Amino acid sequence: MSIRVIDNFANINEQLEIANYINQSKDLLYRFYTSSLSYKEYETKNTIDYPQIVHLIFSNDKIQNYFLFSCLYNLLHKNKLSNFFIKKIKLNVTFPHPDIDKKKHGPIHTDNVSKWKSIIYYVNNTDGDTVFFNKELKEIKRVTPRQGRAVVFDSSIRHTACCPVNSVYRQIINFVLYK
């Protein structure tokens, strides 16, 4: 079970290029998403469902956003992860939730099978941590979002996001890769 945090996954110019595009583009199409607690098998007393908005960058072997895809593919290459096939890349944005405190988290889930890799790239500094769990749903690692940081992990590891409490929003880019 591998969870690796990479600070400066993107250098400062790359970070700003991605963040500025996301925050200033009028072309991004978002869809509203909520899990409706569809991950009941991994539910804990601190699990709550919360809405998020999602922008697909790459899905079903189709590039949905050419600008972001090219930036992100360059990051994969630079960080020696371009030898994987890309299953999906999406931008997730979450906001503070009235029922959230620092102990609460979203639905725990896995991204896929063990031979796949997942990456969470943090677009902005926020207080909405990513939390990783073992099979007994005991917390094993917590990663605080920092602009330019990424966490690379086996897609079979249970994880979830926390909504921000003090920040206005939490923006991450989620990659799912396979061999």
Per-residue pLDDT of 78-89, as tens digits, reads 999 999 999 999
Q: Average the pLDDT over 49-73 and give the result.
A: 94
Domain count of the fold of the chain: 1
> What confidence category does residue 36 fall into, taking pLDDT thresholds of 50, 70 and 90?
low
CA dihedral 25, 166, 110, 132 (to 10 degrees): 140
Q: Can you give the pTM of this predicted structure?
A: 0.94
Average pLDDT over all residues of the chain: 92
Give me the residue label for tokens 């909520």: 34
Give me the residue label for tokens 């029922």: 99
Give the per-residue pLDDT at 59: 94
Which CATH number is 57's domain given?
Answer: 2.60.120.620
Alpha helices in the chain (DSSP H): 12-24, 66-78
Give the C-alpha separation, 7 to 37, whole Å.
31
Q: Structural domain of residue 166, as residue ranges?
A: 3-178
Q: Has residue 125 got a pLDDT over 60?
A: yes
Q: Average the pLDDT over 46-71 and give the result.
A: 93
Q: What is the DSSP string of 149-165?
A: -EEEEETTSEEEE---S
